[in-house]
Chain A
Amino acid sequence: MFTMGIDIGSSSSKVVILEDGVNIIAGEVIQIGTGSTGPKRVLDEALSKAGLTLQDMAKIIATGYGRSSVEEAHKQISEISCQAKGVFFLVPSAKIIIDIGGQDVKAIRLDSKGGVKQFFMNDKCAAGTGRFLDVMSRVLEVNLDEMAEYDSRATEPATVSSTCTVFAESEVISQLSNGVAKENIIAGVHQSVASKACGLAYRCGVEEDIVMCGGVAKDLGVVRAISKELKKPVIVAPNPQITAALGAAIFAFEEVIGANK
């Protein structure tokens, strides 16, 4: 039996096709999100990769910021519940999830069965989100996937505000014009993201294992900065961008099984 989870975020679209609730047949990501062609394209890609059609899916659940706009879905579940489900499936020892996506930062505390015990989200502000890193990457003329490498060469991280993306951007421009090395600025940018995310994690109560997911988890500079701030190791979920879609696909499987019982 196949089930599908579709996660439409603000800046990327993800689909997971699951066989019998355990085998990931397809896990596709396209780096454009809700309101774009991303949702359709990623759906087509996942089906094509799996050699399946929508009719083969026993159930489809949508999640993410654009969850309400997915016509193919039978149901919508919030990304917080889906992240918890997906991460717990991959890392059963997880207690705290830090999820940094395009425009949201979330800290989620799990109970012993992987259920959501508490969660906190960022305020309506881009500071500390993937969008914040996008803006910095553009100003610094460094690709997002190179930022971790730059960070690893930092000798003296710069101070970058975590209050506001616009203020932080002008700080970065000012540091660039003062000749501060990009490596040090990028380390400062990563610390800024970490301090925002850790503020939410502290509210949840920090407890190991701490697992990071969401697109920003692919930036190891941010992961290192969060680990340093929390003074604890941080595990990056395997394929961290698809964990919510995976959770949605698992929910879909559980609902079909439950309905068949």
Chain B
Amino acid sequence: MSRIESIISELSSISNNPKKAMEDYKKETGKGSVGVMPYYAPEEIIHAAGFLPVGIWGGQKSISKARAYLPPFACSIMQSVMEMQLEGVYDDLEAVLFPVPCDTLKCLSQKWKGTSPVIVFTHPQNRKLEAANKFLAEEYRLVREKLEKILSVQISDEALNNSIEIYNENRKVMREFTDIAANYPNIIDPIKRHAIIKARFFMEKSKHTAMVKELNSELIALPVEAFTGKKVVLTGIMAEPNEVLDILKDNGFAVVADDLAQESRLFRNDVPSGTDPLYRLAKWWQEFDGCSLAVDTKKSRGPMLMDMVKVYKADAVVVCMMKFCDPEEFDYPIYYRQFEEAGIKSLFIEIDLETTSFEQTKTRVQSFSEML
């Protein structure tokens, strides 16, 4: 097995088995894990406490118990998170960080059924005012205070600034990775790309950075191979389950860039420099644009996607529409029209973690491939 294959295999295994990653971290450090709900929670505060931040993104499973608590039109991430809460899956977590940038999260945050304490905080939506930074920094101060109490630790500004630098380094290396991966689609297929990125949610970030950095070096040492398939940019919340990525792969598509909330949206911007770590983290939210969950009066998502198509010489955009995600569904008609005007081809596929039948997705992707 080449070094590239072994790194990918290790990261894929971590991404497929978060529980083991948590157990390994505990064995190694004696410290536990803190859950991080989507979207855009300041993981750095958990990292600075010495605990492992673990991303909570639900999973592919059938829903039954959650039906008692959620309406059928809640997105499938939250349906599966609720189902797993009820099954006790998250009860090993020391705490759960819970941002609430959409209505479903807001409601779900008030009915957590696991045993771990939940720390809810709010992202301000009138984001471009200075007051928004002050508000969010204060929210983060409360998050830090609550975490300190629950975890029985002190989180110093120095430790927090240090964690921000570790995270910024990871963001930079991930941006490099997605750029490099775009040149090696025969090696980094859509599933591997996703697994390498997803492993970030279950690893101490400097370890993830080191592995991806090494992978990047190994990749760029190889000659760039010709790719005969089509290149696409993914947009949406997530492109799971893996069957969806398998269908893209089987139809000869490579993912050359993404604008997924679970992937590049998390690392396309660094946390800005400064001395007050909580203010720095708050400022990241102000500077972050192009996401349906963050009010964006300029509606920059469409132009951002069109730039990505140009920069990465993509053939099209694949819209991975999370079923029943209102913010994403509201954004779609806006950027779809912009694509039409610019002559950019796009495919709409539905993302539903509960589904086990992918025939419709297969038909859509195959038709799109034939259309291109």
Contact = CB atoms under 8 A, between A and B. Distances in A.
A123 B370 CA distance: 21
A123 B350 contact: yes
A80 B367 contact: yes
A80 B345 CA distance: 16
Contacts of B367: 78-81, 116, 119
B9 to A, nearest CB: 30
B267 interface: no
B259 interface: no
B352 interface: yes
B359 interface: yes
A80 B323 contact: no
B350 A124 contact: yes
A117 B360 CA distance: 19
A116 B350 contact: no
A28 to B, nearest CB: 23
A76 B359 CA distance: 14
A67 B363 CA distance: 10
B355 interface: yes
Interface string A96-113: 000000001000000000
B106 interface: no
A121 B363 contact: yes
B198 interface: no
Contacts of A124: 350, 352, 355, 357, 360
Nearest to B339: A118
Nearest to B359: A65
B226 interface: no
B364 interface: yes
B371 interface: yes
Interface string B349-372: 010100101011001101100110
A236 B50 CA distance: 67
Most chain B beta-carbon neighbours within 10 Å: one of A65, A115, A119, A203: A119
Contacts of A203: 336
A56 to B, nearest CB: 27
A77 interface: yes
Give the dominant DSSP class at B's interface. helix
A104 B350 CA distance: 14
Most chain B beta-carbon neighbours within 10 Å: one of A79, A115, A124: A124
B363 to A, nearest CB: 5
B363 A65 contact: yes
Contact of B371 (A79, A116, A123): A116
B364 A121 contact: yes
B348 interface: yes
A120 interface: yes
Contacts of A118: 345, 371
Nearest to A76: B366
Contacts of A123: 323, 350
B323 A116 contact: no
Contacts of B364: 119, 121
Given A119-B371, A124-B355, A80 B348 contact: no
Contacts of B323: 123
A81 B370 contact: yes
Interface string A69-98: 000000011111100000000000000000
Given A120-B348, A123-B323, A78 B363 contact: yes
Contacts of A121: 360, 363-364
Contacts of B370: 77-78, 80-81, 116
Contacts of A76: 366
Contacts of B359: 65
Contacts of B340: 205
Contacts of B366: 76-78
Contacts of B363: 65, 78-80, 104, 121
Interface in B122-162: none
A205 B333 CA distance: 12
A123 B352 CA distance: 11
Interface string A199-216: 000010100000000000
A261 to B, nearest CB: 21
Interface string A41-80: 0000000000000000000000001000000000011111
A104 B348 contact: no
Contacts of B345: 118
A104 B360 contact: yes
Contacts of A77: 366, 370
B135 to A, nearest CB: 38
B352 to A, nearest CB: 7
A116 B323 CA distance: 25
A63 B323 CA distance: 27
Given A104-B360, A124-B360, 11 more contacts: A78-B367, A81-B367, A81-B370, A115-B371, A116-B367, A118-B345, A119-B367, A119-B371, A121-B360, A121-B364, A205-B340
Nearest 3 interchain pairs by C-beta: A80-B367, A78-B367, A78-B366
Interface of A: 65, 76-81, 104, 115-121, 123-124, 203, 205
6 contacts: A77-B366, A80-B363, A80-B370, A81-B370, A104-B363, A124-B357
